[in-house]
Structure 1
């Protein structure tokens, strides 16, 4: 049990993350319906008295409780008492001549064995033996058709427990693989954001690094010229002043995504960033736009790309470019609160000044960011 706890402690460490929430939904969808359906069918077709119905319903409820906690990654404290409870249910079923009451014990046991790090085979054999021994108590009460009862209460339940545990092994491997893929996707998205920050830092260095180096040289030259040629020194200082002012403007343009951009390069950059983050991206380029509109649309695309990588849980992104605008649609939008323009608000004002319009809206779990120019803006 210590080994089980250590394994599931790592899994439950994701409890408040989006990855764990998605895995929990996946587990609930794939595990719960067949589990409940089989249990209800057994109650309907094999329970012939109210006592047998009660036994099977109690075992089914214990199974559902264990499965629900299993999907949350924290089921040991629930599974232990449920294992004991379903063992008594099976014992009562065997004594009451109900051959389907083993279902709860087999299911709860199958949830417990796969997460164990060692001695899984021994645990599986132990579960099968326990189910067989409890079922064999039926032979102490009923002495007719011993061969049939041996198969019904010992062989079938033991084999059923083994088969269900094997299926849970396969399910566990599948869910572990999905968890690894989800974690990998998150890491890729974080890496994409880091790359974007590095690109921003590189552009900032290109702007300010060159300027500071030139300023240093010109100030040193002006200092040397000041005693012998004050006029030339003043000219050098005026150039320094103009250079610093131009650098301030360029830095503001970079900070607010107002630098001149190449739309084709931004499309390729966005595609590479999304693919690196494990997001499927589709680019539909229906027409070309002029350079002035292309610059603003490139800025909208860059800012939207950053927002998707940082704030959404997107799996798919579609970029559509027409002769008058661009539209970026992504899934993974949260349902709480109205969408905010955030960094796009400044671009919205610039687009409006050029006869365009920027909209951000949520539609059925998707974000739609669109920038459109009127025909006269072309």
Structure 2
């Protein structure tokens, strides 16, 4: 089995059927070219009414033409890309090489012709096919067989067209169809047999039909291969998107928890002499946070954990209070986070977590505000703080500042919006997400949760 086919008949990317299609194309195209010539021209040669002087040369020319056609088409098919989209094809459906597998394999597949750039037909065999086709055409025209003389020349034109890109094929095909009008018409006019229309139009139509029949399977193969490649690329993109989502979730969990652990450890260090009991309590929380981080990381790996807005608001208030930041939370009583669709709660929870982490890492805040409400079918979350640090030097620290832009992309995919702005020492992050039909919103009922008193000398929130 070839083309990465496994025991179940599927390719490397699934049951695409391209291996079978390639084999079908391999046998159909040369077989059809040889069969049509043997059937129609061979029947004519065996007709006892045909003069012997025409039958002898025609029989030899037919044999040569069939062999040359099969060789030319086999070498063209050897240039077909494999089902796994590699530029070099298998030599045959069931063998490692074909007689013409050395014919310009090339280094890459042409986007139009599905073959190697610059690969052309073997000149010797092409000349042989043209010569044999000319002999057959002359023999048939000599006995005024207007429906047969164009069979071999049309096959040669179609074979040459298979080696060309679409733009180069058109002039060849159009020119051949127009030229096919002339030989039969000239012979008919000279003989005055009254078959001018048939002698001119039938060969031209035969050329066009032969080219279409031989190019059709190659076009079908190339189209199927491109569709399979697009499907595989789509699958790869889906895997990459999932990896990015997993990386973002892991960054959110570990970055946030590690920042809080660092904050509480510093706080415990400052309190160990002045208030040992408080220091011990902080270290117990550090231990619990470490255990939570491990548990959450395992949950993300298993795909179970989902960040929610209500959990993150509660956690943010507790963490900011531990950092000595006066955190005020304003929530609409009639639009609690529990009533949100799960995807909205998850995304807003991520925003809440990232905003809280930014307050801790990139500010010397003393006050922070969290405002959540639903207006006109939009869930709006705004987190602001004072004491914002200067924006980082992205030239010196190119990896910093990627959390909010990444979240902004995720909200845009959900038809939402994430904006942030700085006004002096004040920094605010605002998230908007649609939640479906507008929820009836009553008057704003702020529930204010103030943080505990600031710990003197605490400078961990940077």
Normalised by the length of structure 1, the TM-score is 0.49
Hey, which of these two has a bigger chunk of helix by percent? 1
| Larger gyration radius, structure 1 or structure 2 | 2
Normalised by the length of structure 2, the TM-score is 0.41
